């Protein structure tokens, strides 16, 4: 089982879009995927046509010990998800008082391991994180094996990257020695824009092989798909977005 945290403290860079469509692409390649929505905004949850405010249980119930990992899972087609809701923000504030507050998600998975082994094997766990480096993101970093950073190809997206990479290094040192920064994903890219080309070149120069060769082009279909409760492969299988995310899935597997 590969565990992947999709992280960036900057909002609007394509974290939820990347989580949803990596899951859709991996499923198309024959894998079984569990999504974890660790963002109180619940964009990933709503993007799968799940009404967060109507749910009996969410990731909040896992973090507070009311539900196990397997009890909190919902099945949406060929994808499993542990959904989120706005309640997660209040839950995170309450958890700050706990001594092992950054290890709650990791501990929950360790406790659920016997149950998970009895069910069908999960190949990928993909965690969507909030636009911050707070407790929820720390829990994702403490549990994940790999980190992917979506980076919008605009000037301001470069600011804060150093701090984010430093935070990942601290998490590796203090919380999770198995953690690895596996790649940066250039998103919202338009080859016609000089600025996009320049930022992509800077990313390549600075991060070299860490930058995935696959670039996620700007595509209206990627923005429209969550409104229909579908990933890009269901919504617009012949779009640039579907082509790019399938190429990204294959590049991840090859790496």
Tell me the average pLDDT of the chain.
93
Distance CA 230, CA 146 (A): 25
Q: Is the pLDDT at 78 greater than 80, yes or no?
A: no
Domain of 24?
2-254
Q: What is the CATH number of the domain that holds 190?
A: 3.40.50.300
Distance in angstroms (rounded) separating the CA atoms of residues 66 and 82: 14
The total domain count for the chain is 1
More confident residue, 25 or 53: 25
Residues 208 and 206: their CA atoms lie apart, in Å, by 6
pLDDT in tens, 31-55: 999 999 999 999 999 999 998 778 8
| pLDDT greater than 90 at residue 115 | no
Integer Cα distance of 169 and 16 in angstroms: 23
């Amino acid at each position: 089982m590969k565990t992947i945290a999709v992280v960036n403290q900057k909002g609007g860079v394509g974290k939820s879009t990347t989580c949803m469509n990596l899951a859709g692409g991996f499923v198309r390649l024959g894998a079984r995927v569990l999504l974890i929505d660790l963002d109180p905004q619940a964009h990933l949850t709503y993007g799968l046509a799940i009404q967060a405010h109507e749910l009996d249980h969410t990731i909040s119930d896992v973090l507070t010990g009311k539900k196990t990992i397997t009890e909190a899972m919902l099945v949406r087609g060929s994808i499993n998800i542990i959904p989120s809701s706005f309640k997660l923000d209040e839950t995170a504030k309450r958890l700050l008082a706990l001594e092992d507050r950054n290890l709650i998600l990791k501990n929950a998975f360790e406790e659920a391991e016997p149950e998970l082994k009895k069910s069908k094997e999960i190949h990928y766990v993909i965690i969507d994180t909030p636009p911050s480096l707070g407790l929820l993101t720390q829990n994702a970093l403490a549990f994940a094996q790999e980190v992917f950073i979506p980076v919008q190809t605009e000037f301001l997206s470069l600011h804060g990257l150093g701090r984010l990479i430093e935070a990942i290094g601290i998490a590796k040192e203090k919380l999770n020695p198995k953690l690895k920064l596996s790649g940066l994903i250039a998103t919202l890219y338009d080859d016609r824009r000089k600025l996009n080309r320049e930022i992509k070149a800077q990313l390549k120069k600075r991060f070299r092989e860490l930058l995935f060769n696959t670039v996620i082009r700007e595509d209206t279909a990627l923005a429209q798909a969550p409104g229909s409760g579908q990933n890009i492969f269901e919504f617009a299988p012949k779009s640039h977005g579907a082509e790019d995310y399938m190429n990204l899935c294959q590049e991840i597997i090859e790496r």
